[in-house]
Amino acid sequence: MSTQLRQLLDLINGAAATLDKSCSVNGTRIPDPHEPFDPESEAFRTDPIAENAANIIGAAALQLAALVLPPHLVMFSMIGGQWNCAALRLCLDTHVTEILREAGPEGMHVKDIEAKNGIDASKMARCLRLLSIQHVYREVKPDVFANTRLSTLLDTLKPSKKIIADPEHKHDHTNGFPAFASFLLDEWFKSSAYLLENITDPKTRKSGDPADAPFARSDVHGKSIWEFYGQPEKKVREQRFNIGMKGLLSMLPGNFASEAFDWRSLPKDALVVDVGGGVGMVPMAVAREHSHLKFIIQDRPTVIWKQEIPSALQSGRVKLEAHDFFTTQPQKDASVFILKHILHNWADDYSLTILKHLRAAATPPKTRLICIDAILPYACRNAASSAGGIPGAFTVEAPEPLIANWGLVSGTAFYMDSIMMMACNSQERTIGQFDELFRKAGWKIVAVRHGNATRPLALAAIEAVPIEYERKQPRSRL
């Protein structure tokens, strides 16, 4: 038996024993893959030891498959990803999950599915069978399919008859994940087919303009993603996008805003400005715990005036302000500027403009910049030596012989990076890329905080200070 094969098997066995012990002690369990997804089924992950063990098992199992399967099969599973997406989009947008939920665990024959959504039974069976080998659905009897834990993530929990009759409002008042999956599999998926043409075209290969992204080459006729969703005739798609983004944000750790910065260190009535804050998730979360602070949420007028008005707004502690972050920042007395999921929407040239406007408005020496975004983990080992000693820049590497950044277990960050490249001509960034970008704009990164260091997918909060106002340490007299 090869050394790596034995190492991977030992990792799986050891982690499985750890996970089993944690579940026994904590009264939790590993969910059944055939049961509907329920957030409570993830309770075992609340124990950091259990979550780390689960990550090891997942990473090792995926690497084990790449080791022992024929290389052409591994490669073809990647090449075939487009057909997985096509089949998934068909099932999602023809409401198969809702139909199967109503059928129960015994499932439904594809002819009965056709009677409800009108999709040819034979072609539907082929798509469902393809997805079944990915564990998204399951074939319980020939041509009879049922939901799994994975497919129920696509469930709006609405009656199938209602959404078939009114598909335009399918995603209204839902948790948002089906909407998120739907727009990714629609215009965003189509744009990915144009990546090669986009980055080999002399007119667009070096461009960071959203109007030059692969998205603009698909069926959107040269429009950036923001222009596309701004068209009156795309109102339904814009609504789906907005619901999907709210759903994505709701899946992030709920307490991360509180952990992003030491808010207690700020003096009474210190001003926190959420730049491009949208619905103001960070200020609203922080305001509940830190009543001594004041907040301003900035965004475009079409976004900011759609705010729900909570008690914090009524009391005057939180204010709304129409502002374009590509223009001069009007707030000159902020203790903290927040950029949450902003920079990943923009290429470096645009991000520099945003950061420089904030640097020009910074008040020495108190102003801090908190950038909340994903940090792409390097796949190599010992990458921390290249980070210039930034505290917290790196989480624990996966154990040997796993890929240092946990491989496909951390894949979401890399998929998001690809999404941003296709849709916006933008990117997620490594800590090295953040460091270089911030320095060019006049900021120095002084700390990175992770909501949960055991999670390779954890969000990061990057704290930076104005470079020229850095407090110098006194020289030693020795």
Active-site residue numbers? Answer: 344
How many CB atoms are closer than 10 A to CB 477?
4
Omega into 210 within 30° of 0, i.e. cis?
Answer: no
Phi/psi of residue 224, nearest 5 degrees: -70, 165
* C-alpha to C-alpha distance for 146 and 132, rounded to whole angstroms: 10
Tokens 């944690």 belong to: 22
CA–CA separation, 102 vs 168, rounded Å?
21
Show the tokens assigned to 56: 């090891």
CA dist 184 and 325 (Å) reads 26
Residue 331 neighbours by CB distance under 10 Å: 17
10 Å CB burial of residue 119 (0-12, 13-18, 19+) is middle
- CA of 441: how far to CAs of 88, 348, 357, 358, 445, in Å? 42, 10, 9, 9, 11
**How would you classify residue 431: left for phi > 0, otherwise alpha for psi between -120 and 50, otherwise beta?**
alpha
Query: What's the CA gap between 264 and 270, in Å, rounded?
Result: 10
Q: What is the spatial distance between Cα 1 and Cα 297, in angstroms, rounded to a whole number?
A: 59
Sheet containing strand 144-147, edge to edge, reads 108-109, 144-147, 137-141
- For residues 54 and 11, give the distance between their C-alpha atoms in angstroms, rounded to a whole number: 11
* Local structure of residue 469 (DSSP, 8 states): G
State the Cα–Cα distance between residues 56 and 459, nearest whole angstrom: 19
Distance between first and last Cα of the chain: 58
CB atoms within 10 A of CB 33: 10
